Structure 1
């Protein structure tokens, strides 16, 4: 009997890597039957706003609105492909929310996450969300490093795609 994933979670942060993970997750959800569901997640890292002395709730509202537009677009694309798709926007520390909190809440059995876009020094200093999720997740994790044709996406190409947004 083949392993089937029924509840697939994809963290979306607007990066090229997250887009690749989303596209592959749609395909995996389609292959896992009619009762498989895709859940998109964006985490607004509220820690990023703690050091801003003139903190204003409009900043969080703007970030949330941008995330909502992105998630609406992805959810519509998934539904157009015949996939059941929902999304949520959470606030806090992305690492624990993606690896533990939301997967427990949704009974997720697979997290599909884009490979990190950080270089070695950035990973050392701030740590990669992807790296943490692979170590601490409460379910299976698939790190997406290639496009739909399973061709590696160069770091340069991924950075260019991300910078164009």
Structure 2
């Protein structure tokens, strides 16, 4: 018996790893049937604005608009790939909690597909990884995407930059 997922949550943060998670979510949704929904989310980390002495709502609005534009681009791509049961939201708060606890309960999420972290060991120790937290705390299945669509290791930023330079020559 195959596991069928009905509600897939894909956190989008603008990273290459999040894009890979999105692309794999499309494949999973296709395999699971038309009634499978993909929920895209971008979480604006409000803690980042707490240290700004002159809190500027225009800054938050700009971040929100950029996130909405990015999410709309992903929705367009999903629809081109035959996925019509897709929605998105911009949420505010601590990304770890929103992704691991709040949205899974609110939207009956049964699978979170999240990109692997790009943090090194010291950064993870100091600030913690959202991905690591989600894998520990979420009550649903979590798939951490570390590979591309051919299941080859995802290129590092340095490798992608080098590959882009080579393709421009």
Normalised by the length of structure 2, the TM-score is 0.92
Structure 2 regions of 5+ residues with no counterpart?
163-169
Q: CA RMSD in A?
A: 1.4
Matching of residues 1-165 of structure 1 within 5 Å: 1-83=1-83, 84-157=85-158, 160=161
Q: Deviations over 1:79-118 (max 9, x none)?
A: 1111111001100000010001001000000000000011
Cα displacement (A) at 1:154: 3.2
Q: How far apart are the structure 1 equivalents of 2:68 and 2:150?
A: 28
In structure 2, the CA distance between the partners of 1:160 and 1:138, relative to structure 1 (3 Å rule), is farther
Residue by residue over 1:134-160, the C-alpha shift from the partner in whole angstroms, topping out at 9 and shown as x without a partner, is 000021000000000001013344774
Q: CA-to-partner distance for each residue in 1:11-52, whole Å, 9 max, x for gaps?
A: 000000000000000110011011101010100000000000
Answer yes or no: is the 8 Å Cα contact 1:117–1:159 preserved in 2: no
Q: How many residues align?
A: 161
> What stretches of structure 1 of length at least 5 have no aligned partner?
none
